[in-house]
Structure 1
Amino acid sequence: RALAPMRMGSSPEGEEGALEKAQAAAKGVYDFVFQPISISLPCAIGWWVFGSFITTAAIAFSLFTIQFGDPRVQPNIVASSEELGNYQKVEEETVLFREILADVQAAYVDPVDSERFFETGVKAMLGSLDPYTEFENNKESEDLDIMTYGRYGGVGLTIGSDTKYDAAKNTIVRDDSRFLVVGALEGYAWDAGLRTGDHIVGIDGQQIKGKKLKEITDMLRGPPGTDVSVSFDRDGVKGEQSTVLHRKLVEIPNVPLARLIGDPKDANGYIMLKSFASESGKEVKNAIRQLKAQAPNKRLNSVILDLRGNPGGLLTAAVDVAEAFLDPAAPVVSTMGRTAAAPSLAYSASREGPLIPKDTKVIVLTSGSTASAAEIVAGAIQ
């Protein structure tokens, strides 16, 4: 939030009136919204022009938070004299940073990308705290939103790097210069004629050779309702082909697979959970209900929860998933904070009770890439 510029010094209202105004302004700084694993860097710059004098004041605050829920947090905080002193110190350091940037832009031998320069500085600053506090630019924030909400505007294509034979090594290696269609969804790219095994060679008239896979993915995505043209080669078909793909809202399932394994009479269920987005808990609970409905006597002998390769996601989603396996009000996870704005919190399962009875065996599969919210669920169940 923007902090209104304040003139420091005497005031018609006296010191008490000035302090009240300063405290009110400071409270505005602390009013913020929890966002999913993101960094908020609000910066307010006020300009006053009095004759030929220009005074510039800038205040930047980094607020590092993990999403604990959707409600807005509006703590009632009164700033102390010590805190006001800290604000002034931050202001001085921010002005110094701006002056350094201006000097580099004016005097460095090569042109300087100010945005990249700023991001590098912020990332280094946050990296000094711990490995998990990160700054995300606009593009990275968009990617995080896709992971968090499981929806984006796309064409329903799954693509990956092709492979080729390396005679020197006598083995098959990845070929990053060619991109293969791994999957085409019906209702999306499939309907436009693309098939698994096709090679993408161009997008919107632009050749993609030499580009990275992430760049190609970004080129295919866009607002729902827009079109993108794709050129491709197909084995056994002479010449390059092209088609127009219509972007639609693509929803990524968090539970891509849930089924009974082995002999159905054994009633052993398997659930693959690939991410912890806003609907993960709902999808896992629905999968358990469907498996129980398919099992003899409507009871499962065992459930395998596959979290291998799951990178995690929302903390609230971890709680939603864990409570399907835990006793009512059982502890799931706690977080530690040091201020009224970011207090210590404890999360527990709901009082409705688990969908999995105690006599049902639960097996949780993890791997070296099981992380974050996935680790929380594995630990809570264990």
Structure 2
Amino acid sequence: MRTVRSILIGIAASVALVFSVTEPRIGFVDTATASPASDFYKQIELLGNAIDIVRKYYVEKPNDEHLIESAINGILSGLDPHSSYMSAKSYREMQTETRGEFGGLGIEMTMEEGLIKVVSPIEDTPAFKAGILAGDVITHLDDEPVQGLTLAQAVDKMRGPVNSKIKLKIIRKGTAEPIEVTLVRAKIQVQSVRSRVENDIGYIRISLFSEPTTSGLKRALKDITEKISAKKFRGFVLDLRNNPGGLLLESITVSEVFLKGGQEIVSTRGRSAEETQRFRARRGDLDTLTRGKPLIVLINGGSASASEIVAGALQDHKRATIIGTRSFGKGSVQTIIPLGGDFGALRLTTARYYTPSGRTIQAVGITPDIEVLQVEPEELKGKTDTKGESSLKGHLKTGDKEEAGSQSYIPPDPANDAALNMAFGLLRGTATNPAFPPVKASH
């Protein structure tokens, strides 16, 4: 039986009220299992001595709690961009976020060179409505520089009472002067699944993977199949563009809606072979929801982690044709490890994940079967491209295969959406491409 607890597989090491993909398969840490190597304990003693010296001789009396949190943060942030320490407050808020309801701005972000980099704004949030773009770099919060803050500290500053205001100073690629934007904090209830009927095609948009996502997908499929007759029905478009990730379990249960029972969805591999886990689609009545109709999945440079798991599984099993631009390339699993009491938790990278065919996504991403580039407005050209996982300092390496990011711009008017229109054309037969429908290997 699968045991998926609190695994986050999203982009950011922390989120300004957003998401990551994580697996809570580890509970409390048993220090008795630590390595007895004497050199290691000498280094631990060195750390203790350094903290003791700071406590005794720093020009102002330091806050002990802040000292320890900073030390833990330093250890974790030196590992990779996605490992971090969460205070008790941050840990409680993260648990709220994964339920798809939280307060804040709605920005998926990471830390780069000491500044906050926007990975993606979440749809229908203050950040999205204010025009915050993927790739924007936030340098100041209410005129205070973010340089020197940890990501968790920056996130805390972005949080605040609903309807309160915060001013962001932003550097945007291609813009000579910094941009100042004032946002009003809101209670964000994320509707992760939206759908509509496009005459003879069912369109489904998943903006992130939170606890309600799979149930929302099933409702959308039921609604679509009731509105379109079987004879008229051409197929589905599943839009995962600018979806930054979310819960591993939801990426698995979303994938199995479109797959056959027993088909592998994803595997995670830790430090040793014994830590490998494989997740497969369960049998059920889910095939009746999709009727086996053709499926096209849309991705771009803002599609990360859980989105890449779904796209990779459907691509490997030839269940869907993938259209768009290369995805972000976040192929690692973060496990939330509670420290007990009121001491918060660690978000620690514990594994990499692989598609059913054994492909790594880390710093490589998912390459679409059909690349479709979007024409951008003149004022946005080159400003919305993501650099991808491979651009993050300290990212887990993947040999010489690493790829840069790609486009993340989606036009607000569907009539101008090149990838979406290509998908509609292929499903209706007004456009052709050798990659559609996908050809399954013969045995």
TM-score (norm 1): 0.52
Does the 8 A contact of 1:68 with 1:315 survive in 2?
Answer: no
Cα distance in structure 1, aligned partners of 2:190 and 2:45:
44
Does the 8 A contact of 1:34 with 1:73 survive in 2?
Answer: no
Q: Once the 2 structures are TM-superposed, how far is the Cα of residue 126 of structure 1 from its aligned partner?
A: 2.4
Structure 1 residue aligned with 2:190 = 252
Structure 1 residue aligned with 2:245 = 312
Amino acid corresponding to residue 228 of structure 2 in structure 1: A
Q: 1:377 to 1:121 in 2, by over 3 A?
A: same
Q: 1:369 to 1:146 in 2, by over 3 A?
A: farther
Residue by residue over 1:46-80, the C-alpha shift from the partner in whole angstroms, topping out at 9 and shown as x without a partner, is: xxxxxxxxxxxxxxxxxxx94167xx8799x9x8x
Structure 1 residue aligned with 2:401 = none
Structure 1 residue aligned with 2:79 = 129
Q: Once the 2 structures are TM-superposed, how far is the Cα of residue 321 of structure 1 from its aligned partner?
A: 0.6
TM-score (norm 2): 0.46
Instruction: Give the secondary structure class of the aligned counterpart of 1:324.
Output: helix
Matched, 1:301 2:257: no
Matched, 1:276 2:232: no
Alignment of 1:188-267 (within 5 A): 210=143, 218-221=159-162, 251-255=189-193, 257-261=194-198, 264=199, 267=200
Structure 2 residue aligned with 1:147 = 97
* Aligned sequence identity (%): 26
Q: CA RMSD in A?
A: 4.4
Residue by residue over 1:306-353, the C-alpha shift from the partner in whole angstroms, topping out at 9 and shown as x without a partner, is: 11111101111110111111122111000113569x832100111125
Structure 1 residue aligned with 2:278 = 346
The correspondence for 2:68, drawn from 106, 114, 118, is 118
Task: Flag the structure with more relative contact order, 1 or 2, with Cα contacts below 8 A and sequence separation at least 6.
Answer: 2
Residue by residue over 1:282-314, the C-alpha shift from the partner in whole angstroms, topping out at 9 and shown as x without a partner, is: 111221111111112387412111111111011
Q: Where in structure 2 are there 5+ consecutive unaligned residues?
A: 10-20, 108-123, 131-140, 147-153, 166-185, 316-443
**Higher Rg:** 1
Matched, 1:356 2:356: no
Does the 8 A contact of 1:147 with 1:313 survive in 2?
Answer: no
Cα distance in structure 2, aligned partners of 1:214 and 1:126:
17
Does the 8 A contact of 1:101 with 1:114 survive in 2?
Answer: no
Q: Once the 2 structures are TM-superposed, how far is the Cα of residue 147 of structure 1 from its aligned partner?
A: 3.0
Cα distance in structure 2, aligned partners of 1:159 and 1:283:
20
Cα distance in structure 1, aligned partners of 2:157 and 2:39:
45
Amino acid corresponding to residue 151 of structure 1 in structure 2: E
Does the 8 A contact of 1:68 with 1:316 survive in 2?
Answer: no
The correspondence for 1:67, drawn from 11, 19, 23, is 23
Does the 8 A contact of 2:101 with 2:190 survive in 1?
Answer: yes
Does the 8 A contact of 2:245 with 2:306 survive in 1?
Answer: yes
Cα distance in structure 2, aligned partners of 1:112 and 1:278:
40
Q: Once the 2 structures are TM-superposed, how far is the Cα of residue 363 of structure 1 from its aligned partner?
A: 1.4
Q: Once the 2 structures are TM-superposed, how far is the Cα of residue 130 of structure 1 from its aligned partner?
A: 3.3
Q: Once the 2 structures are TM-superposed, how far is the Cα of residue 361 of structure 1 from its aligned partner?
A: 2.1
Residue by residue over 1:131-166, the C-alpha shift from the partner in whole angstroms, topping out at 9 and shown as x without a partner, is: 3333233344344323311123x5xx9799xxxxxx
Q: 1:278 to 1:84 in 2, by over 3 A?
A: closer
